[in-house]
Amino acid sequence: MTKVKSSILGYPRIGGGREWKKALEAYWSGKINESELYSRLAEVRLASLKLQQEKGIDLIPVNDFTLYDHMLDTAAMFGLVPQRFSGYKGGVVPLDIYYAMARGAEGATACEMTKWFNTNYHYIVPELNGAEPQLVENKPLLAYREAKKQLDIEGKPVLVGLFTFLKLSKGYKTAETDAWIDKLLPLYEQVLLQLQQEGVQWVQIDEPVLVTTLSEEDLTRVERIYKQLGAAVPGINILLQTYFESVDAYSRIVQLPVAGIGLDFVHGGKQTLHSLEKEGFPQDKVLGVGLIDGRGIWRADLSAKLGVLERVFKVVAKEKVLIQSSSSLLHVPVSTSYEEKLEPVLKDALAFADEKLDEITLLAKAASEGTDAIRAELEQNGQALAALQTSAARSNKTVQAAAIQLKQQPAARRESFAERRTAQRERWKLPLLPTTTIGSFPQSPEVRQARAKWRKAEWSDAQYRDFVRQEISRWIRIQEEIGLDVLVHGEFERTDMVEFFGEKLDGFAFTQNGWVQSYGSRCVKPPVIYGDVAYTSAMTVDETVYAQSLTDRPVKGMLTGPVTILNWSFVRDDLSRELVTYQISLALSQEVQALEQAGIGMIQVDEPALREGLPLKERDHAEYLNWAVDAFRSSTSNVDATTQIHTHMCYCEFNDMVGSIRDLDADVISIETSRSHGELIHSFEEHTYDKGIGLGVYDIHSPRVPSATEMVSMIHRALRVLDPELFWINPDCGLKTRGSEETIAALRNMVQAAGESRESLTVTK
């Protein structure tokens, strides 16, 4: 019998009860000290490793755990601390400096944060800016030693590959790429040499950037990097790991001088399998077969996966195959064992991280011993998948037909932007540089406690509704007192901008403990789209109309857009993502009409995740953007010319999205930019934008309160390239996670900055 080994690329960091998150936040709030923090995190980390050991995973990853983010860890490992964090004097990066880079500190803004490829995970962007990196702490080595000493695990250290790290960093010119490779290569050699000296057998080097569209020059660079590493550290087995898509330069990647290549057989899996069968695979290398979806929550069709393995084994010998997850499991919740309220048909069709470990070991067992060894599991697997597929939740023929019709003929606004702008100016009579916020206000402990009492039925619906109205009333008064021009109701009734809507639509389900890390300690519990999505009744009208009744200033209705609901949910895998989005769009269009009919004339439909869903291959961008834009317009087009449609986007690289952003045809768009404000301003020098726009003038992810002077500077930079008649002043995102005191202080400064900027414009004129 040939033993086929199993592996995963990474495991969730947060712990089954979000112990990781709670420890970080306790440390930041001063409730525990540094020693206690490390102790608590070690408990979470070792428990995760022990579980993988008990489940029978052969190659267990170490150093996939982090104190905040793995890209930040890599920067810290090489002493890459921006100069503005003046407390750093070299050597191991102190914890306060590490967290200041992630979250900001007095006098030092946080490092930029952006999406990890096309996932909802955010990483901290390393800043190079002429730094001289050096190895100050071998984090993979420390993680390997801990697993070996504490659990006798022969761990597989994981580190971000040099090329991916460099490509995702900022602060250097393209012409300096080779010089930076020359700086970093000796450091990677040091890391690997120390691991080799420790007796490490396998090291996983993640190079997900290899699945993107690369130039000939970049491919040559990758070849140079791994040729040099292979020559410098010949005694260690490097598993060069790719994920999230297929690799275009397959024949060149598999020939790199490493011991193994990991490929994604789920996302881009058809192309990966085609390349394998057409071009073969080197006999002297191990193939990591990413067969279990590291990003989705659905049970794998084990029979289908075994069919893929049969094809793989015709090309690669069994002893040269690793069966593993397609990516790190940090993108899925920890375990379905915590879910006690899901319908059995749905729960039986789910697989979170722990269940995926079982799937991997089952496939490895079948590959080693034959399918009869898991016959009972295969039958149960097939029954569970069939039960969901034939359920009533997936049988709404009306919605299915309407979505197809919308795909064939999307909606559009009747009037041009110029016509709408004239009508809206007359209706709203807003000042130059109008001020507003993105939607949410701080969710205080009292708000969360009230919601918890309501959910536990300790409060009646009427009690909870009265409480929410009190909060709305209080914050309407605060906004008026601060002097904001366009107000919001604050979203106190909402836990999450996607979950809230999913709870009110058919086709969604919600977990009790399905948490995943979004950024830092911020965890989200994505809804599960498991059936056909359908509108049932008004979702936001009551709170918005109540808020509007309290003030003469306009109050925006606040909705989450169809593409964001899609991208921030776990989505059924039996329909295309495009058709699911059109189903959501149909439901949202009915809510937009309900708000308008109730007298709400400004409606914000947020799409912060629009870019997040962009395919990793450039050739696939246009198709995705076309249907994503069409879905947004189908949600927002059936309104009068005087109704002003707003939207909000996050971390948008404007240069490659300007056409699509314009095509959304929103009257006003706000873009989250404060951590990369200068880069976006530069892009406006190259691309004209002729609709209403607000660039976030301060960073809500940091607790620091920026001064009015600081915001005036940002406003003036933007107005060099944007029309003051179309410019809005706003924070760069919602304020739910901030404290009330800092929120009010920052908004006061923002309104002051807007006033000073108006005066300077008036003087100039």
Report, as residue numbers or ranges, the catalytic residues. 701
Binding annotation for L-homocysteine: 438-440, 491, 606
Distance CA 79, CA 70 (A): 14
R_g of the chain computed on alpha carbons: 26
How far is Cα of residue 521 from the mean position of the Cα atoms in its chain? 13
Distance CA 728, CA 432 (A): 8
SS3 440: strand
SS (H, E, C) 455-468: HCCCCCHHHHHHHH
How far lies 77's CA from each of 100, 135, 156, 500, 678, in Å?
16, 6, 18, 40, 27
Binding annotation: 18-21, 115, 120, 438-440, 491, 522-523, 568, 606, 612, 648, 650, 663, 672, 733
Could you tell me the end-to-end alpha-carbon distance of the chain, in angstroms, rounded to an integer?
A: 84
What residues contact 336, with CB distance under 8 A and at least 6 apart? 347, 350, 351, 352, 354, 355
Binding annotation for 5-methyltetrahydropteroyltri-L-glutamate: 18-21, 115, 120, 522-523, 568, 612
Distance CA 476, CA 551 (A): 7
- Report the greatest alpha carbon distance in the chain: 85
DSSP 316: S
Identify whether the C-beta of residue 698 lies closer than 8 Å to the C-beta of residue 677.
no
Distance CA 686, CA 682 (A): 7
How would you class 182 by CB atoms within 10 Å of its CB: exposed for 0-12, middle for 13-18, buried for 19 or more? exposed
The structure tokens listed for 764 are: 């100039």
Beta-strand pair 522-524/156-160? unpaired
- Residue 487: how many CB atoms within 10 A of its CB? 24
Distance CA 2, CA 232 (A): 32
The structure tokens listed for 108 are: 């030092």
Phi, psi torsion values for 534, nearest 5 degrees: -145, 145
The structure tokens listed for 640 are: 């009068």
Binding annotation for Zn(2+): 648, 650, 663, 672, 733
Token pair 């602060």 is at which residue? 171
Binding annotation for L-methionine: 438-440, 491, 606
Given strand 644-650, what is the order of strands in its sheet? Answer: 556-560, 602-606, 644-650, 668-672, 692-695, 727-728
How far lies 640's CA from each of 165, 444, 445, 523, 636, in Å?
48, 37, 40, 38, 10
Identify whether the C-beta of residue 6 lies closer than 8 Å to the C-beta of residue 324.
yes
Nearest in space to 713 (alpha carbons), one of 128, 169, 109:
109
Identify whether the C-beta of residue 722 lies closer than 8 Å to the C-beta of residue 680.
no
H-state helical runs in 107-243 = 139-151, 162-167, 177-198, 216-232
SS3 536: coil
